[in-house]
Structure 1
Amino acid sequence: MNALGLSMIVKMGCICARESIDINGIKYIVKERLGEGGFSTVDLIEHKGTKRKFALKRILCHSVEDQKVAMDEISYYKKLKHPNIIELVDSTFKGSADIVVNATSEAYLVLPYYRRGTLHDYLTLRSFNRNYLDVKEIIRLFMEICQAVKYLHDFTPEAIAHRDLKVGNVCLTEDMTPVLMDMGSCATAKVQVCGAQDAQKLQDLAAERCSMTYRAPELFHVESYCVIDQRTDIWSLGCVLFALCYFKSPYDFVYERGDSVNLAVISGTITFPEDTPFNEDVHDLILFMLKVNPSERPYVDSVIEKTRQLKNKIEPVV
């Protein structure tokens, strides 16, 4: 599976008539469909000359607003440069550049192809035999993911929130380096909500772009007058660390039981397995991030410091 599922239904299969596409003068052959969603698809493509493989994300735009959303995603890819954040190889639009209402265009994003797939894929495979990761490896992976988040939160002139951090949005390189992807959910971190209309708009956007089992409580029920900031990502990081330990977000387990994720998140209910191989220090780090009240939630620097302390406790500095 390709690492760019982006909350899509994975749908493997060959494309019988091999499509050839030209992106800014470079020719690629479409090898197979990797995933598809409501308005976008991801294909495995191969450079016609070098045979190097890439992932092609196609975003279908039906309106000016759709095109603006696609252009914003491309803009984030272009300005974010970090070893733990996916790079944009190339991009273009197919169709009208001056799109009008009811016209259709398509954004093409050429991205790296990660043969190992996503952290979600990796954890799913390990979950079949309850093959828990070693705590040192968990800390290494989590610390690198935190570094990517810190880069976003420290970005100038304005801090950026990812808004859809989850194990399905973390690719793995050949040497098991985590790489954060899906910049389509990114937004200015600090949002001032002024009134019920603003609140409903943000809540609807969160429902569309932020995966439910990793979504922060304040995005389930946005208050009419409040400030939403980058600490939505800290809640998601807590869910990611839980998944590194137990293969899934704590709220994936709630969803699978058929219980209300909304109610479980709002109440801050966290249940750790009884037969856990991890000690209280690991659980404390998870709970440190999963504070229902965002004002009680730490910023990423505090998360990194607490993770470093745990690392030093497990591997004392000589």
Structure 2
Amino acid sequence: MGCGKSKVSPESPKKSYASVVQSLVAFRDTHDDDGGPKRQKDQPANWQVSSYVNSPKPKADGRGQRDTVARYRDKFEPRVTARYDIQALIGRGSFSRVVRAEHRATRRPFAIKMMELEAPEGREVCASELAVLRRVSHGNVIQLIEVFQFPQRVYMVLELATGGELLDRVVSKGHFTERDATQALRMALAGLEYLHNLGITHRDLKPENLLYYHPGPESRLLVTDFGLASFGSAKPTEPPPGEEQSLRTICGTPEYMAPEVLLRRAYSCAVDMWALGVIAYVVLSGSMPFEDDSRSRLYRSIVKGKVSFNGNPWPSVSNPAKDFILRLLVLEPAARLTAAQAARHPWVVSAAGGSSRNLHRSISRNLRRQRASRASSQRLGSAASSVGSGSPFRPRMPRSGGQELWRVSGSGATLRLVL
């Protein structure tokens, strides 16, 4: 299911990685860490809720918020509301709504994702996500608690991740070092290794889909959002017979796509490792290894794969950290580090060499610059492309030969990448 031969529309566009600069505020040290790393642990009442999906959340403006909650509560099946108290709308997508809820018997908080099944795309996204979530159980992967299935809707009860996105944590800490980066990457790698061993390729790995379970400093990091995930080859080589079609479709978020995806070659879970290399670059610098206002130039840059470590804070970043990134941003998928190999990289194991240097100022400055640049480009070229920056998509690929690698039409515009 998911990104197979059929064309499945992704969730609604999610915010760009640079938008986390809105969270450049002091990290709230007043939060206790008594939630612990165990699953389904009760969370303190004063914890700030962060949505499971990273969509705009309604403002808590008294009556307006109560009306919104009531409106979505009414849409829920009685069998669901009899078991869970619906409290707040915290996210929305093209085919889904996510609410914060409390189990009526235990008072434990959860997220409930309501998936609409009327559209074929919604059914397939739902089936793809359920196929993955029903099989996984790992401390660094979002946990499915239970499912309510009805003809027109499916309700997924999930862990409620309240600690915010990965980059939110980076910019709100006020002090960020390589050691902090490796702590986060170790947890992401643990989740990826588990998924890849099950033959699951995420296909939309990015900072927005890495959420902290709670705001405490010892919180575990969770891999979330499996709407584009696929069961396919777990080997970074050509998929075995019968799986080529399921792992050829272009999907994901543009800035994090691996070269083999853009080139429409058969691919494997190695695409997730490329995305992790991009994430490591962003976490350490606040900028992207491949970026351009032009989609065609962005993709041309990705398929060339040349990574630069110019500008701040890279002179303050250790060589082992750069080596880790370069071993992931490798054009040949088979030559990339696997999740298990990346977890054993010397930099990840020891965070040696420059790990005590505070990179926060440069990271924050780069994020601000990136946000300003993208806001300007979106104002100037909002009608030029239907693909939002930082949002997952599935472009319509040309069937004929030639040099045209991708094409997406919409809003009266057609974009092409030609090498």
TM-score of Structure 1 vs Structure 2, range by shorter chain:
0.7 to 0.9
- Distance verdict in 2 for CA 1:15–1:256, change over 3 Å: farther
**SS of match in other structure, 1:70:** helix
RMSD over aligned CA atoms reads 3.1
Count, aligned residues = 287
**1:162 maps to amino acid:** H
Query: Residue 133 of structure 1 aligns to a residue in which SS?
Result: coil
Deviation at 1:123, TM superposition (A): 3.1
Give the equivalent residue in structure 1 for 2:299. 262
Mapped contact 2:170–2:283 kept (Cα < 8 A) = yes
Contact in 1 for aligned 2:166/2:208 (Cα 8 Å): yes
Residues 307 and 238 (structure 1 numbering): CA distance in 2 closer, same or farther, change over 3 Å? farther
Q: Superposed, which structure 2 residues align to 1:34-49 within 5 Å?
A: 34-49=90-105
Does the aligned pair in 1 maintain the 2:256–2:275 contact within 8 Å? yes
2:344 aligned counterpart, secondary structure: helix
More helix by share: 1
Q: Secondary structure at the match of 2:149?
A: strand
* Structure 2 counterpart of 1:262, one-letter code: Y
Secondary structure of 1:4 counterpart:
coil
Listed one character per residue, the Cα deviations across residues 1-26 of structure 1 (whole Å, up to 9, x for unaligned) are: 62422xx5323232415226445574
Distance in 1 between the 2:210 and 2:90 partners?
16
The answer on whether the counterparts of 2:58 and 2:90 sit within 8 Å (CA) in structure 1 is yes
Residue ranges of structure 2 left out of the alignment (5+ in a row) = 1-48, 60-64, 355-419
What TM-score, normalized to structure 2?
Answer: 0.61
Equivalents in 2 of 1:113, 1:297: separation in Å?
33
Alignment correspondent of 2:144: 88
* Structure with higher RCO (Cα < 8 A, 6+ apart): 2
Match of 1:292 among 318, 323, 331: 331
Say if 2:213 is the partner of 1:173: yes
Which structure 1 residue ranges, 5 or more long, are not aligned? 97-104
> Do the aligned residues in 2 keep the contact of 1:58 with 1:109 (CA within 8 Å)?
yes
d(CA) in 2 for partners of 1:123, 1:153: 26
C-alpha displacement at 1:295, in angstroms?
2.9
Deviation per CA, 1:197-230: give whole Å up to 9, x if none.
Answer: x77x866x433xx11111111111203xxx3111
Whether 1:242 and 2:285 are equivalent positions in the alignment is no
- How far residue 237 of structure 1 moved from its aligned partner, in angstroms, is 1.1
Identity of counterpart residues, as a percentage?
20
CA contact (8 A) 2:342 2:348 kept: no
Which residues of 2 match residues 1-318 of structure 1 at below 5 A?
2-5=50-53, 8-13=54-59, 14-16=65-67, 18=70, 19=73, 21=76, 22-23=78-79, 26-63=82-119, 66-94=122-150, 96=151, 105-125=152-172, 131=174, 133-155=176-198, 159-174=199-214, 175-190=218-233, 192=239, 205-207=249-251, 210-223=252-265, 227-247=266-286, 249-251=288-290, 254-255=291-292, 260-276=297-313, 277-307=316-346, 311=350, 313=352
What amino acid is aligned across from residue 202 of structure 2 in structure 1? H
Query: TM-score, normalized by length of structure 1?
Result: 0.78
